[in-house]
Structure 1
Amino acid sequence: MHAVLSVEIRKLNRSLAALLAVAAPALIAIFTFFNLLRGKAPQPWEMWMVSSIGIWSFFMLPMSVTALTALVAQMEHGPKSWDHLRSLPLPRWRLYAAKAAMVLAMVAVMSAATLIMTWSAVMLATAIKPNLTPTGPLDMAAYAATMGKVFLAAILMVAIQLWTALRFASFVPALVVGIGGTFFSVVATSARAGVFFPWQMPVNMLATEVWRVNTALALGGGLGLVALVLAVAHLTRREVL
């Protein structure tokens, strides 16, 4: 398994994955930077950090997962290398498990980068306008814990996107699923049943109702891991269309 993961890492290094990993969190940081500079009075640290987590979990995370899974899948679909990979003398499931591990690792990196870049953007903006320095405590441990829950709640969404991207040689089905999921998540933001919708599970980590947080976390994380295992098992037995 170590050898397969090493190969996947080298493939990602030669792709646009690194650019995506930087660009998505950077956009949130840029928005935070200019939004702070427009302010008239200092705001609490919590507002800036929680807002950043909200933007990430609500919109940027689903779109990043859509792009990332399509990118990872097209590295094999594009040059039509699945036949070669599946003929190698190793269990097929390792090929797909390695893809899943790399996608989850990239999402984790982007989640952490969102917090770090947001903090950096606030610090840079307040260096320009010291009178807007945020008030209150900067509890990075609490924000990191919340972002960790967002990551766990997103696993089911990642599993669905990755299965679609790897199952079909065309990138269109994966894009349709990702864009469609994000669209319905946005238009049904206040829906009570949104806690059961994979694309809304991450943002429910910011809900005030404990039951919503626990339900979305259990479904997104627990059911998400099961879905990943089932996806790997299914792809191992099926051919790409």
Structure 2
Amino acid sequence: MAIKRLVVMGAPIAHSRSPYIFAELFRQYAMRDAVYYQLYADGSASIPLLFDGLGLYGANVTSPLKGTAFASVNWVSGSAKALGAVNTIVNRDGALYGYNTDPIGVLGALRQLAIDPSRKRCYVLGAGGAAAAVVCALVRLGARPTIVNRTHARSLALAGRLGASAMRSEEITPIPGDLLFSCLPPGSDLPTWDWNAFSWLFDSVYYASPLEPVASVHSLPRCGAQEWLYWQAVAAFKIFFRGESD
């Protein structure tokens, strides 16, 4: 029986919970012909070389490799092309196929948390790959999110590409009912807003999040990261083993 080898690759990677999710999915579907593990990869070795050298069937890709993955595969899905990033790679007869399941992960998280953003003012902090995925998901749900980033030019560029709007943080006064989606990496500075205007904080980071102190001081629920991770992993599982797309 040929074993399919799959990894989650990135740097850092020890914090990743993807192996636990896939272990549970393998158990649910009684799969004994696949293994999934963490792989530290900081970009010093090319992704095609890693696939070839390790005999990989598939990979989930995390920071800082999603852009590199996009440029490294032989084919990209429509979702990956729209985001300019790949987070799921499948090896099909030596050709690498790239997908992006992050928008599906965000949609699944919002559905699980019973959050309807379509009639709310939605602010997205950040203008990188995670922010692009959130904006893409919100637009699919009929919302028109506003992107806020320290480098305003990046906000404008992302907004123009995905059909959103962009504002500087000092131009925004949050009001009760507004929704906040943070896609800021650990160590980022936060806007000086009235955080009590938000009923909850949707966070893309589940470790060392810059939102942790704010959520603690203002007794705000911080959610989203775990749910997002789970649903994007389920979507990747379906791509790996059922031939579905994103």
What TM-score comes out, normalization by structure 1 length? 0.29
- Greater share of residues in strand: 2
The structure with more radius of gyration: 1
* Structure with greater proportional helix content: 1
